[in-house]
Amino acid sequence: MTVVPPSSRALTKNGDRAYTAGLAGSGFTASVVIMPTQVSFTRTELREETVSAVATGYYDTALSWNGLVHPTTPWLSPDAANSGLVDTIGTGPPGAPGPFSPGTFLWAIPQSFRAAGSSGSGTVYSTANHSQIMSGATGAETTSKEGASRARTP
């Protein structure tokens, strides 16, 4: 028998997060598929690990997000189609205030797996780059993660 670990995740946007007019935010929810899909991962548990953000411009000076810690998520198991998981990405509602300016935000989030029902920290199999980019004074922003994205101007 050959054991094949997960290799990555693919996200498909399934809804936009709601923001107050005039506040920045381009977040969304997405369905997660664990790759490769030719292998069943129903007997695994998966989670996102802790990482500190790297932020510049608006995200650093206005929001103080440089060094913001992404928390470790609970262990979750995918369904028989390697999906059934939902990820929530981006600034939390109601949104972030101005004044707006160019900036970047990145969480390079380690993705881990382990056998279902086991203990321990698991094994890192991939890194999910959650990025937010604000292009200028209008607050136009794009949020992206693992193939899914959303752009919005307040």
Q: Mean pLDDT, to the nearest integer, of 141-145? A: 98
Residue 1 has pLDDT above 80, yes or no: no
Angstrom CA distances, 110 to 16, 73, 96, 115, stand at 24, 11, 26, 17
How far, in Å, CA of 28 to CA of 91, rounded? 9
* pTM summary value: 0.94
Residue 2 has pLDDT above 90, yes or no: no
Residue 51 has pLDDT above 80, yes or no: yes
Q: Mean pLDDT, to the nearest integer, of 45-57? A: 98
Of the candidates 43, 50, 26, 10, the one whose C-alpha atom is nearest the C-alpha of residue 116 is: 43
